[in-house]
Amino acid sequence: MRIGELSRRTGTSRRLLRYYEEQGLIAADRAPNGYREYDERFVDRVLQIRGLLGAGLPTRIIRQILPCLDKPRTIYFPDATPEMLATLRRERDRMTERIGFLTRNRDAIDAYLDAVLAYGGGDGAGDGSPADGLSREAGPGRR
């Protein structure tokens, strides 16, 4: 498929697909006319890149860890140099930290929402379109 279709199927602008390529995250081959040509595997690949970017990792890191995450679970070691392994461990630990932070803060938000809910009474949980009048008038007049 060409870039337009990949763009549609991944919800990623053409611009970004070219950018990811420029960053060494994906390597499309070219048709004789110069057009990029992608096969099915790129759909997942791009989605994974988006996910990692969305999770806050920079392309520089993604470039390094992506080969180790390659889809067909090939236990194929590209260039498992000691430095590479160190990078992976470091990155894994950073991700664990992030997960911890995100979890703690998400839980705090959740607890807050529960509290508001319990206080203000029945609001259909989750859909985010309350439209009831629970707003404020809050307890201890404390502003």
Partner DNA sequence: CTTGACCTTCACACATGTGTGAGTGTTCGA
Partner DNA sequence: TCGAACACTCACACATGTGTGAAGGTCAAG
Task: Show contacts with a second copy in window 29-48 (CB under 8 A).
Answer: 48
CA 32 to CA 34: how far, in whole Å?
5
Instruction: Please report whether residue 108 would count as binding a second copy according to CB under 8 A.
Output: yes
CB contact set of 97 (below 8 Å; sequence gap of 6+): none
Task: Show contacts with a second copy in window 41-100 (CB under 8 A).
Answer: 48, 51-52, 54-56, 65, 68-69, 75-82, 85-86, 88-92, 95-99
DSSP 29: E
Q: List residues binding a second copy (CB under 8 A).
A: 48, 51-52, 54-56, 65, 68-69, 75-82, 85-86, 88-92, 95-99, 101-103, 105-106, 108-110, 112-113, 115-116, 119-120, 123, 126, 128-132, 134-136, 138-139, 142
